[in-house]
Chains A and B, each alone.
Chain A
Amino acid sequence: VRLCRCRCRALFSRPAGALRARRGLAAGPGMHFGFQTVTEEERREKIYQVFETVAKKYDVMNDSMTLGIHRVWKDILVHKMNPCPGTLLLDVAGGTGDIAFRFINYVRSVRQRQLQRKLKHHQNLSWQEIFESYQKDKFNSLGDSQVVVCDINREMLKVGKQKAQHLGYSEGLSWVLGNAEELPFDDDKFDVYTIAFGIRNVTRIDLALQEAYRVLKPGGRFLCLEFSHVSNPLISRVYDLYSFQVIPVLGEVIAGDWKSYQYLVESIQQFPPQEELKAMIEDAGFLKVDYENLNFGIVAIHSGFKL
């Protein structure tokens, strides 16, 4: 019973401020893990463990927590990107492949339209020519577009690969294990860099932004989809109530893991608001940095160009 009451107190009190200050032996600066203060190394480890545990239930939890709205957010992100065939995308922290699959669908449909338009122009081809053009374009349904999914967590990548197989995505997709703070890619390689709901979990955001700048081609675009700061006070109250009362409970019921989802909600609180993130992106060297609030600021899409 006492255990229950402890839990209830956590449920009804706003957990503001650090709960426990845990400084390890390493004399690193204190970082936040949710509302706790830990060293950098500990933070990386703890986050790795969080995602290792939730990997299998990640998609189910996303749907139940956001009532399916996360799909719309991700659709809006890809729509904003408006990729044309031939684009090389790097999706960082893209574990289960949501953005990657949407990208492939989008590019495929754009490519279809392109081919249709080309065929319409060539109205008086011989049958032989038409046959040849179909052959050529059948093996190029993506128009040379490619997406590389990079994640630091092996479990998330595993789930992603299984999903890809299950849904039938085979071409134009690669899976790479890597750390956003230190990407295993050459300079000036990618057209677009996206990080959806991942930058919150990166320990050194500035390093990740610098790496993003490095691997993008000149003219390349940086897109970041992340939970952000709600300025409207009424909505903010409702949102906080929902975050702290409902989400961890859902986490316990569906995934059997209260603490991971408590971490999730707390990390959203700790994440810098829109303007601050915009300044950080500009510091990394990006230009024309802008953000778009979705759902009153619950989620924001930041965009910047390497010019």
Chain B
Amino acid sequence: KMAAAGGLRRAGWRLWRSRAVVRCQHYPPLRALQASAALRRASDEHKKEPLTSSSQQHFDSPPAGHQPEQEPQGPGPSYTGQGGQESEDYESEEQLQHRILTAALEFVPEHGWTAEAIAEGAKTLGLSVAAAGLFHSDGSELILHFVSECNTKLSKLLEKEQKLVQLGEAEKKPIDEFLRDAVEARLRMLIPYIEKWPQALSVLLLPRNIPSSLNLLTSMIDDIWHYAGDQSTDFNWYTRRAVLTGIYNTTELVMMQDSSPGFEDTWRFLENRVADAMTMSNTASQVQSTGEAVVQGLMGAAVTVSNAETSRAVK
């Protein structure tokens, strides 16, 4: 019975991973945006592939692991006539929004996670600043986009490491070192934006955004445990995720207030927490501590958010 539940969970996890790919494949056929100036620009930039190869792509099966922002052509159907000028590669609105948000990220250190950063990003793509009206004025979509990008980068990193281990070119790390490195790698992605990150955290905690941000958080934790080789099929599955979520959240909060060079205080904190989690794992009090860790994580989050709010109000 437990094995069946575990098998179901495995399958569910795999489905969970693939839903991102399925979603991307569904979008391009939805809206055929012909001959619109901004989107044609996308095809102009990526006109490296000759006409024949793109029409060939139409007949091949669509590529798996579709990355929207790198390949605006995507696996959509092509409407090429003979020497077709008109949009043989078009992008959906979603892909355009993706590109605008990616371009906006470089303006975040200066303008914060705001509509202004998005407007500047749109300007670099040759669009009017009014395109920032496509998104919410509090910058929610920008932050969620960034978090999702970071999670994707982390997944790729972990996958690469796993391949190296499988090929025998690297040694398999012990579990505590693996978790430490994964969390550290993920948190290092925040460093360029660390000044404005407290603002981002407070926006992510808005009721409107909680479903999406929670979703992203849990899928990232799932990823880490999967690559850590988590084979558990019992109650431990939930416990492990809750523990790692607690570790991640508390370390993130410590990082917000860390002023040591190279964030060494944060990494030391992380090391200690992971060590604690390891020693806890075999005791019966694990369940209780898990609850405490999660509660502490939430409390820390609430304190940091209220500090960020008051400091912002004072400014």
Residues of A at the B interface (CB closer than 8 Å) are: 80-84, 86-87, 114, 120, 188, 191-192, 216-221, 285, 287-288, 303, 305-307
A-facing mask of B125-147, CB < 8 A → 1, else 0?
A: 11111111110010000000000
Q: Is B116 in contact with A307, judged by CB distance below 8 angstroms? A: no
Question: In the complex, what residues of B have CB within 8 A of residue A217's CB?
Answer: 127-128, 130
A-facing mask of B108-134, CB < 8 A → 1, else 0?
A: 000000011001001001111111111
Q: Is A82 in contact with B133, judged by CB distance below 8 angstroms? A: yes
B128 touches which of A218, A288, A303 (Cβ 8 Å): A218
Q: Is A221 in contact with B36, judged by CB distance below 8 angstroms? A: no
Most buried by A among B31, B38, B129: B129
Residues of B at the A interface (CB closer than 8 Å) are: 31, 33, 36-39, 41, 93, 96, 115-116, 119, 122, 125-134, 137, 315
Given known contacts A218-B36, A288-B93, is B128 in contact with A81 (CB within 8 Å)?
no
Question: In the complex, what residues of B have CB within 8 A of residue A221's CB?
Answer: 128, 130-131, 133
Most buried by B among A84, A87, A188, A285: A84
Q: Is A218 in contact with B130, judged by CB distance below 8 angstroms? A: no
Q: Tell me the complex Cα distance, A66–B46, Å.
A: 53
Q: Is A220 in contact with B130, judged by CB distance below 8 angstroms? A: yes
Question: In the complex, what residues of B have CB within 8 A of residue A83's CB?
Answer: 130
Q: 11 A–B contact pairs at CB < 8 A? A: A82-B132, A84-B132, A120-B315, A188-B37, A191-B130, A192-B130, A217-B130, A219-B125, A219-B130, A287-B33, A307-B36
Question: In the complex, what residues of A have CB within 8 A of residue B96's CB?
Answer: 307
Question: In the complex, what residues of B have CB within 8 A of residue A306's CB?
Answer: 36-38
Q: Is B93 in contact with A219, judged by CB distance below 8 angstroms? A: no
Question: In the complex, what residues of A have CB within 8 A of residue B125's CB?
Answer: 219
Other contacts beyond A219-B128, A220-B130, A305-B134: 8, CB < 8 A? A82-B133, A82-B137, A285-B36, A288-B93, A303-B133, A306-B36, A307-B38, A307-B39
Main secondary structure of the interface of B (DSSP, over half): helix
Shortest C-beta distance, B160 to chain A (Å), equals: 36
Q: Is B116 in contact with A219, judged by CB distance below 8 angstroms? A: no
Q: Tell me the complex Cα distance, A212–B93, Å.
A: 20
Given known contacts A305-B134, A307-B93, is B129 in contact with A218 (CB within 8 Å)?
no
Q: Select from chain A the residue with minimum beta-carbon distance to B37.
A: A218
Q: Select from chain A the residue with minimum beta-carbon distance to B126.
A: A218
Q: Tell me the complex Cα distance, A217–B126, Å.
A: 9
Question: In the complex, what residues of A have CB within 8 A of residue B41's CB?
Answer: 218
Q: Tell me the complex Cα distance, A134–B127, Å.
A: 31
Shortest C-beta distance, A19 to chain B (Å), equals: 42
Q: Tell me the complex Cα distance, A188–B37, Å.
A: 10
Q: Tell me the complex Cα distance, A285–B315, Å.
A: 44
B129 touches which of A80, A188, A191, A307 (Cβ 8 Å): A191
Most buried by A among B41, B119, B122, B137: B119
Question: In the complex, what residues of B have CB within 8 A of residue A216's CB?
Answer: 128
Given known contacts A306-B36, A307-B96, is B134 in contact with A288 (CB within 8 Å)?
yes
Given known contacts A82-B115, A303-B133, is B128 in contact with A191 (CB within 8 Å)?
yes
